[in-house]
């Protein structure tokens, strides 16, 4: 049987979530993605800007950015209580610059709980879990609406490579489609900055991801 590249998650289950956080301690490749996001934020937003992370998970990216950017205020969105709890513990040293919003990215108006003008909305390895292009488009539109003028959107997420020889879960789709969704959502500029861990012949569910940038 042809494999479908993707993964099944139980993000509301405490044991599953603890296992996920242990398994996915950032690797050097993933740190390349984190550092790319860091350099885009350093050059693209004010030093004291507000950054929103969609699907903050265990807080690995948040920790990286809060350590490197001492002036930013951070908002972590996630619908999973156990993920938020793990992130809260990890990010304790930054608690004065951090708020969590527990919300479903597709079904709830998560941005209404954030009163500060939003300089950047970022995400890694999360939006494919929304399960469909339609849901990713809903979230892109929310981001376009929530960001202030010239605000940045940076999404490092799994893709379906153009040369794919397997089926991929519906939340993983081609680079051109990602860019189309950003354009349709109202971003005046959309580009793919990098593709990481490209693997066509024998891909795992943790390979083939790209970083997309949108400017509103």
Ligand X SMILES: C[S@@+](CC[C@H](N)C(=O)[O-])C[C@H]1O[C@@H](n2cnc3c(N)ncnc32)[C@H](O)[C@@H]1O
Using the contact rule CB under 6 A, the part of the chain among 56-64, 91-99, 181-189, 201-209 near ligand X is: 56-64
Least Å distance between CB 29 and ligand X?
12
- Select 41 or 176, whichever has its Cβ closest to ligand X: 41
**CA geometry: angle 14, 17, 21, nearest 5 deg:** 140
Residue 74 near residue 97, CB atoms below 8 Å: yes
16 binds ligand X (CB under 6 A): no
- Write out the H or E segment, with its range, that includes residue 41: helix 28-44
Map 165-187 to HEC letters: CCEECCCCECHHHHHHHHHHHCC
> Considering the rule CB under 6 A, would residue 209 count as an interface residue with ligand X?
no
Pairing of β 50-54 and β 73-78: parallel
60 binds ligand X (CB under 6 A): yes
**C-alpha–C-alpha distance, residues 32 and 35, integer Å:** 5
Q: Which residue is nearest to ligand X (CB)?
A: 57
Q: How far is the CB of 39 from ligand X (least distance, A)?
A: 18
Q: What is the DSSP string of 87-113?
A: HHHHTGGGGGGEEEEE--TTTS-GGGG
Quick check: 11 binds ligand X (CB under 6 A)? yes
Site for ligand X (CB under 6 A): which residue of 52, 72, 122, 130?
130
Interface with ligand X, residue 124, by CB under 6 A: yes
Query: Rounded to 5 degrees, what are φ and ψ at 147?
Result: -75, 145
Among 36-44, 55-63, 140-148, 186-194, the segment contacting ligand X (CB under 6 A) = 55-63
Under rule CB under 6 A, residue 106 binds ligand X:
yes
**Residue ranges that bind ligand X, judged by CB under 6 A:** 11, 24, 55, 57-58, 60-61, 78-80, 83, 104-106, 124-126, 129-130
């Amino acid at each position: 049987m042809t494999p479908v590249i993707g993964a099944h998650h139980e993000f509301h289950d405490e044991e599953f979530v603890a296992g996920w956080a242990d398994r996915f301690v950032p690797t050097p490749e993933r740190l390349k993605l984190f550092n790319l996001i860091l350099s885009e934020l350093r050059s693209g937003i004010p030093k004291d800007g507000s950054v929103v992370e969609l699907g903050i998970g265990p807080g690995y990216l948040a920790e990286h950015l809060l350590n490197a950017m001492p002036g930013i205020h951070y908002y972590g969105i996630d619908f999973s209580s156990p993920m938020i709890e793990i992130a809260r513990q990890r990010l304790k040293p930054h608690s004065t610059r951090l708020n969590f919003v527990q919300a479903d990215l597709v079904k709830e108006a998560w941005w209404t709980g954030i009163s500060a003008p939003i300089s950047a909305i970022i995400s890694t390895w999360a939006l494919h879990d929304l399960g469909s292009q339609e849901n990713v488009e809903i979230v892109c539109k929310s981001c376009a609406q929530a960001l202030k003028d010239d605000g940045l959107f940076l999404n490092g997420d799994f893709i379906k490579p153009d040369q794919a020889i397997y089926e991929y879960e519906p939340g993983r789709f081609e680079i051109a489609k990602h860019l189309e969704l950003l354009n349709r959502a109202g971003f005046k500029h959309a580009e793919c900055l990098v593709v990481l861990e490209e693997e066509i012949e024998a891909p795992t569910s943790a390979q083939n991801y790209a970083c997309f940038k949108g400017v509103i």
